[in-house]
Amino acid sequence: MAYWLICNSRAGDGERGRDFWLEHLASAGIRDPHCHDFEEADWTENLGDRDIVIVAGGDGSVNRAAAVCRATGATLAILPSGTANDFARNLGLPDQPQALCELIASGITQTVDVADYGDGIFLNVAHIGMGTLPARESRGAEKKILGRFSYGVELLRRLNAKRGFRATIRCDRGVVKGRWLSIAVASGAFFGGGNEIPEASASDGQLDIIAIRPRPILQLLFTFLMVRLNRQAPQRTSTLVHIKSQRCLVHTGKPKTVTADGDVVSRTPLNVVCKQGSLRVIGSKVVSTAANTEDRLGMPGTA
């Protein structure tokens, strides 16, 4: 077994780079790992299925490393060093760097779901519509200053100017059609820098499809706050639809940009399949935001 430390020097604010993590890893007993940057094309050639790939970066870096780990059978470990770090939240990782490195050294693993689409994967969320704007248009200086809040700032900046788009959402138990402001397809339980998806988990074998209709900004904010406060998927609302499904196909009237884990990846149609437990990761648990243990597989909020 070998350890690999893979860094993205352009993730986050750059403070938690290679030297920072090497010091903490050494203190936890992990010394002299193979060190590479994501820009090095050949670092995967000698990777074995018993190796542990430690990735220091944000959600985009974690996505790239996860694809490599699933293809090779290696185990993924995460050192959150980006802006949103949503996938790390799914594992409830320690905030303290030393405790995190000691967890990696312990070798405790979990299995999590991976969402497959076309030639790619995502671990957190794919967006169509308004949700793509942070990845497409957030400015670098603003992102550095505001951190994860830059995502929300960019959405609020554009919210009043959008009338939405027509789309059809097909899932395991039916079809929903309409005009939408945003459609999100999530594999994990967090997005946008810590926003919770109600009753979700990165290991439940289900996608969470959240579609938002064009509404006045105050109505949108009210719905968002109610979901945050109640921590439950709404039973029925004219603003938001929340569907659980193992598969999802989204067709739009006109091709729309798709982002996945914070990066622009393709255009619609978007066809996603959740592959349960297909990635092994270092972690002591997989976080669930469920208010209870009852599965919700129906299609609430289709009004």
Could you tell me which of 157, 159, 180 has the C-alpha nearest to residue 168? 180
Which residues contact residue 239 at a Cβ distance below 8 angstroms, ignoring those fewer than 6 apart? Answer: 212, 213, 215, 219, 220, 223
Task: Provide the domain count of the chain.
Answer: 2
> Do 124 and 270 have their domain in common?
yes
7-36 mean pLDDT: 84
pTM: 0.83
> What confidence score (pLDDT) does residue 301 get?
37
Decide if pLDDT at 69 tops 60: yes
95 plus 217 within the same structural domain: no
212 assigned to some structural domain: yes
Which CATH number belongs to the domain containing residue 24 in this structure? 3.40.50.10330
Range in 13-22, 233-242, 273-282 the model is least confident about: 233-242
Is 130 found in the same domain as 90? no
Q: Tell me the HSE value of 86 on the side-chain side, using a 13 A CA sphere.
A: 29
Structural domain contains residue 289: no
Residue 260 and residue 127 share a domain: yes
* 50 & 194 share domain: no
| In a shared domain, residues 207 and 255 | yes
> Exposure pattern of 257-294 as b/e (b: 16+ CB <10 Å)?
bbbbbbeebbebbbebebeeeebbbbbeebbebbeeee
* Predicted confidence (pLDDT) per residue in 205-224, tens digit: 999 999 988 877 777 777 66
302 pLDDT above the threshold of 50: no
The whole domain housing 83 covers: 3-113
Same-domain check for residues 134 and 163: yes
Q: How confident is the model at residue 10 (pLDDT cuts 50, 70, 90)?
A: low
